[in-house]
Amino acid sequence: MQRLGREAWQKFVAAGPDLRRFALALTRDEGEADDLVQATYERALARLDQWRGDGEIAAWLFAIMQSIQRNEWRRRQRDNAARATLGALSIATVDGERVAAGQMTLSRVRRAIDTLPIEQRQALLAVVLDGLSYQAAADRLGLPLGTLTSRVARARQTVAAAASWSVEPEEARTPQKAGAIVVEGGGDD
Amino acid sequence: MTRGSVVALDPETRSRLLDGAMADAEFADWQARFAEEPALAAAMASALAEEARLRDVLAGDHAGQADDLGMPRRGWWRRSAVWVALAAGFAGLAIGFGGGAWLAVGSDSSAVAWTAGLQHALENQPSGGAVALADLPGPLGAVTLEIERTYRAADGRFCRAYRQSVASPAGVMASTGIACREADGTWRLFDTGAGGDA
């Protein structure tokens, strides 16, 4: 069974933001877009042996996403055939809430990143933004490899936790309270 | 969908996997397990979806931070660093005309152009016609809008059923929605949740 090499895997992970933007364009809903990205990756991970390795892996991921979305749309078209005609007023309320909730998700991610302890943020940016290997990032920051590894993991944990808050329905209904939320960065290591 | 998988990768392993920071043998072993253990693949897929969001925000908000740290910028996805700043700037714009959440756009200026083009097309495009709204950078392509029909809603507003298509490397897909004209002349978008092959 074929496995992804290191370079292909990096492209596999790095395709995420583009997949997400495409999912947003398809669904116009942040929550649905994140679900669609996740479903795409899930299917791809289960079928890594089906990637032929002779093209861009991002294109393969896009094809998987479209396949999933196409099937989802077919199901929804059946469900929504009547609603889609003149139901604009009832849809408006739902749509407004969804948009508000989606905005909060990204603003929380942003705030979580901004409030990370500087040591964690430096480690995360060195690896994710600059593409350094863990060893190179550790060398650059003057850290033992284990400390660097731990800081990157903790930074991701904090950001993921902050993003997940937005799925709580009571917060989705009161987006004006988002500004009051404080992300606790916690200690280091 | 698979949010909230009960199988949890420990945070450090998950992070090392995202960065490919492990020996070849361990890396290959994990990939084999993803194929064989659906719950594990779901947990990793969740991590990858979170990572996509993280990189979206990082690339947009921290474009200058690498320089602050004296580090070189790398990674092909950084080429889109500016136009990835989608939520803070353009989401406000999107909600400004009533939702739709068309966040997957280019630079701020192309976001403005897209929004203006969408509003202009809804105001002026006859039913049945198609108009190009934007060309997205990166692997994405053209966005086109087709207005399928116009009607008057029960509350008196004019509404138009539209179909918007987006190109990706794997082909073109479309989604549908309804736009209704507000008293101030702006068109408010409503997602119908339906769509289909373009």
Q: What is the pLDDT of residue A103?
A: 56
Q: Which residue of A has its CA nearest to B169?
A: A59
Nearest to B62 by CA among A90, A45, A118, A150: A118
Q: So what's the pLDDT on residue A181?
A: 32
Position B81 pLDDT exceeds 60? no
Flag if A129 and B88 touch (Cβ within 8 Å): no
| Exposure string over A143-176, b if 16+ CB within 10 A, otherwise e | beeebbbbbbbbbbbbbbebbeebeeeebbeebe
**B117-127 burial string, b = 16+ CB within 10 Å, else e?**
bbbebbeebee
Please give the pLDDT value at position B128: 77
CA distance A66 to A69: 5
Q: Which residues of A touch B177 (CB under 8 A)?
A: 28
The span from the CA of B157 to the CA of B154, in Å, is 7
Show residues of chain B in contact with A20, CB under 8 Å: 49, 52-53, 56
**pLDDT > 90: percent of chain B:** 18
| Complex prediction ipTM | 0.71
The vertex-A128 CA angle with A123 and A131, nearest 5°, equals 100
Q: What is the pLDDT of residue A136?
A: 93
Which of residues B173 and B32 earns the better pLDDT score?
B32
pLDDT digits (tens, 9 = 90+) for B168-178: 766 776 677 77
Q: What is the pLDDT of residue A9?
A: 93
A149 pLDDT higher than 90: yes
pLDDT tens per residue, range B93-140: 332 222 333 333 334 444 556 677 778 888 888 777 788 877 665 666
Between B130 and B27, whose confidence is greater?
B27
Cα B95 to the center of its chain, rounded Å: 15
Check residue A185 and report its DSSP letter.
-
| Three-class DSSP category at A31 | helix
- In this structure, of A54-68, A147-161, B24-38, B63-77, the range with the lowest mean pLDDT score is B63-77
Q: What is the pLDDT of residue A81?
A: 52
**Portion of chain A with pLDDT greater than 90, in percent:** 26
Interacting residues of B107 by C-beta distance below 8 A, sequence separation 6+: B82, B83
Among A59-73, A78-92, B9-23, the range scoring the smallest mean pLDDT is A78-92
Q: Do B151 and A86 touch (CB under 8 A)?
A: yes
What pLDDT does B50 receive?
92
Q: How large is the greatest C-alpha to C-alpha distance in chain A, in angstroms?
A: 62
Task: Tell me the C-alpha to C-alpha distance, in Å, between residue A157 and each of A66, A162, B13, B64.
Answer: 29, 9, 12, 23
pLDDT band at residue B196, thresholds of 50, 70 and 90?
very low
> The tokens of A79 are what?
């469900």
The shortest CB-CB distance from A156 to any of B34, B54, B189 is to B54
**Angle between the N-to-C axes of helices A30-46 and A57-80, in degrees from 0 to 180, rounded to the nearest 10:** 130
Q: Please tell me the predicted confidence (pLDDT) of residue A77.
A: 61
Q: What is the mean pLDDT of residues B141-145?
A: 76
- Residue A135: which pLDDT band, with cuts at 50, 70 and 90? very high
CB within 8 Å of A82: residues ≥ 6 apart: none
Q: Do B75 and A134 touch (CB under 8 A)?
A: no
Cβ pair A12, A44 in contact under 8 A: yes
R_g over Cα of chain A: 20
Least confident of A46-55, A158-167, A169-178, B48-57: A169-178
User: What is the pTM (predicted TM-score) of this model?
Assistant: 0.56
pLDDT band at A156 (very low <50, low <70, confident <90, very high): very high
Name the range with the highest mean pLDDT among A42-46, B72-76, B156-160: A42-46
Interchain proximity B72–A24, CB inside 8 Å: no
Residue-averaged pLDDT of chain B:
67
CB B173 within 8 A of CB B142: no
Handedness of CA A170, A174, A178, A180 (dihedral sign): negative
What does the pLDDT look like over B5-24, one tens digit per residue?
445 689 999 999 999 999 99
CB-CB contact of B156 with B127 (8 Å)? no
Interface mutation target, options A72, A106, A176, chain B, most CBs of B under 10 Å: A106
Confidence of residue A146 (pLDDT cuts 50, 70, 90): very high
Lowest mean pLDDT among A135-149, A158-172, B40-54: A158-172
Q: Are B136 and B130 in contact (CB under 8 A)?
A: no
Judged by CB atoms closer than 8 Å, whether chains meet at A134 and B21 is answered as: yes
Q: How far apart are alpha carbons B6 and B104 in whole angstroms?
A: 31
pLDDT at B111: 54
Q: HSE on the CB side for A113, CA within 13 Å?
A: 23
Min Cα separation A58/chain B (Å): 8
Taking CA atoms, A14 is separated from A7, A18, A170, B74, in Å, by 10, 8, 33, 12
Q: What is the pLDDT of residue A33?
A: 86
- Given an 8 Å threshold on Cβ–Cβ distance, is A84 in contact with B194? yes
Chain A residues in contact with B55 (beta carbon < 8 A):
14, 16-17, 128
CB–CB contact B87 A103 (8 Å): yes
How much is the pLDDT for B189? Answer: 77
